[in-house]
Amino acid sequence: MKIKEKASHVGQRIIKILSRTEMLILPGQLAFFLLLAIVPTVTLIAYVASFFHVSTDFLANFMNKAFGASVVSLVVPMLQDINFSFRFFLLIFFAFYASSGGTSSIIVTSNHLYHFQNTSFLKRKIKSILMILILISLVVFLLLIPVLGNRFIAMLEYVNVSEGIVSSVQFVLNLMRSPLAWFLIFFLIKIIYTMAPDENIPSSCTTKGSIFTTFGILGVTFVYSLYVTYVAHYDVLYGGLAHFVILMIWLYLLSYIVVIGIAFNVEEYENREKLEE
């Protein structure tokens, strides 16, 4: 009975935290800024791919599986006209600077929930840029491994890449689909949750939220991968923007799960503070 009452109390506390105005707004903000980061991220990937002589057509076919033809038709022309100069990298920096608005909101919201004072704008902005880079790395990892891993292998075989390279990529994909991937996602999420407040909090206070977020992200991504594998090629039935809409829903669900994880962490931190009083 005590366990049931404790679970009920924790659930009520988390719902109360999630019902706060800033927590209701945060998922949409975070999803928007993650979506905003797609173009500079894809551009950087194209830049790195150019060193390995990967064609723009190959990248376009690969992105088409995740984002759909409508989105690719907007992005690919930009990739073809890239001039890798100082101005290019300056624009990429400002694009990520703008995208860091989502993680900046996480920092401010975390400070408010933990009852911490906000630090200077410059420190917060530097930290928010680091956090958005971690989040983007997580999203790219999810797209490349669980969602589009098999498609990537098929495309490598289609363009007649040597069997040795295909085998090596397949080995890495199989390795990253093991529990090692779960640990990597957990590790990245825990870093974000620990970094977010402007004052130090015990790492143990972010464990429950990180575990919940890890499995929540894996569950939502599994459903998204099923869509990409079995539904996404029916453009005639669902329309050209279906991929993009589903992508936005996926990013929003990921963002909402991250916010719920924050609520778990705040509840755990407050319980710890009460025990120490």
Which tens digits make up the pLDDT trace of 190-204? 999 999 999 888 888
Higher pLDDT, 60 or 186: 186
Contact 254, 27 (CB under 8 A): no
Q: Name the residue range of residue 93's domain.
A: 2-276
Q: Which residues of 141-178 are buried (b: 16+ CB within 10 A; e: fewer)?
A: bbbbbbbbbebbbebbeeeeeeeeebeeeeeebeeeee
User: In this predicted structure, which of 81-85, 118-122, 233-237 has the lowest mean pLDDT?
Assistant: 233-237
Confidence (pLDDT) at 236: 47
Confidence (pLDDT) at 244: 73
pLDDT at 66 over 60: no
Confidence (pLDDT) at 203: 86
Which stretches within the chain are classed as H helix? 2-18, 21-36, 38-51, 56-67, 69-80, 86-99, 101-114, 121-142, 149-158, 163-176, 179-195, 207-230, 235-238, 242-276
User: In this predicted structure, which of 33-37, 154-158, 259-263 has the lowest mean pLDDT?
Assistant: 154-158
Which tens digits make up the pLDDT trace of 208-261? 899 999 999 988 888 887 776 666 554 544 555 667 777 788 889 999 999 999
Which 3 state secondary structure label does DSSP give 35? helix
Higher pLDDT, 126 or 11: 126
Question: Number of structural domains, the chain?
Answer: 1
- pTM of model > 0.75: yes
For a pLDDT cut of 70, what percent of the chain falls above it? 65
> What is the pLDDT averaged over residues 96-120?
90
Q: Is 187 left (phi over 0), alpha (psi -120 to 50) or beta?
A: alpha
Confidence (pLDDT) at 141: 82
